[in-house]
Structure 1
């Protein structure tokens, strides 16, 4: 079955304050993207139990890209501080900035299609400049990775105008 690239446009623009995400992280490449769900499976038991956790959302943060397709990915939650985190946790501090926010509807099986639509269709014609900063996925507490009715958000960092 071939997945079609849906037309994509940002649901909204958001000015987000600075915040910190902490969780389990690993280095990935385009060839190892399929291993990210295993990271989430390992992190899942921590959700709601992370010291200093704020809110009920979970985040997937892509950061430290090398321009060759390699990047760090952290499956985590927002935290107030990092002093009491488990030893195997990583964290990333996201600076206050403006984001283009996209919604992905359905299971994560076709998440790649949404990302391709953002980068290939929306970015080139948007008039926006993507910042060299972490981008992230935000999952609500009711999100299910296999539910065709689930909705999650992709937050793409933008340069200030």
Structure 2
């Protein structure tokens, strides 16, 4: 069973209980980082957004069936007050809980039912090599974004490209991409960076990242850079659980090959996946 399938089962089995990204990840035996990336990539939405939508849909069905205790439904749905529940309910359905109860029907409401994840997300992922890396220091431009937000990531690289030469004490002649710090909504910090020996000569407006020593599974992505999500999807949702591996709550690194051409997006890169 893929990771996303396990997460969906855990959520729908425990809708009436307290749920958090950390708790769902623990139940699935993976890190928050791993689950946040995988779920949004495969299911098309953040974990907790799916949880909220499913709970509100279940509440709408209960209200249409005559449920009278709206505060009780609010608490069961993870809201601390009638007011907070009503705001979220109206935002999702365009109607108040009281209106749905009076109408006695969910007709016209777009309900979120249980999602079934695809059994496999991508075929033919080449096996990785395994590598260890000491502490990595990186300096560059960072921005929070969603993984599917390709234009934002492209824009970060476009801004950083002319500034790469400003960074002193570079370790490598080719910049790296760093994916780190996911939140409950499936967003993360993406940094286009130069690997450096120290931060002494780094321009003050650039972000500074200190990545601890780590073991990695290193995957080749040989296709056009715009298709990198397919490789990530196969790694997170299939390769890691199939091989009994877990994604560490740590930064993932994208290393472009010397053959990578910024004009065409061809030439390949490596994805360094931190192992737990």
Same-fold call, TM cutoff 0.5: yes
Show the counterpart of 2:157: 40
Q: Is the 8 A contact 1:59 1:138 kept in 2?
A: yes
Q: Alpha-carbon deviations, 1:120-149, whole Å to 9, x = none?
A: 22111011121101111011343125354x
C-alpha displacement of 1:87: 1.9
Post-superposition offset of 1:49: 3.6
Structure 1 runs of 4+ aligned residues shifted over 3 Å read: 30-33
1:100 to 217, 223, 227: 217
Matched, 1:122 2:221: no
RMSD: 1.8
More strand by share: 1
Structure 2 unmatched ranges of 5 or more = 1-120
Secondary structure in structure 1 of the residue aligned to 2:173: strand
Offset at 1:67?
3.6
Asked which structure has the greater CA Rg, the reply is 2
Partner-residue secondary structure (3-state), 1:118? helix
Relative to structure 1, is the Cα distance of residues 104 and 31 closer, same or farther in structure 2, using a 3 angstrom cutoff?
closer
Aligned residues: 155
CA contact (8 A) 2:178 2:190 kept: yes
Deviation of 1:19 (Å): 1.4
TM-score normalised over the length of structure 2: 0.53
Q: Which has the higher helix share?
A: 2
The alpha carbon displacement at 1:34 in A equals 2.8
Question: Aligned with 2:175: secondary structure?
Answer: strand
When normalised by structure 1's length, the TM-score is 0.87
What is the CA-CA distance between 1:100 and the residue it aligns to? 0.5
Q: Which has the higher contact order (CA 8 A, sep 6+)?
A: 1
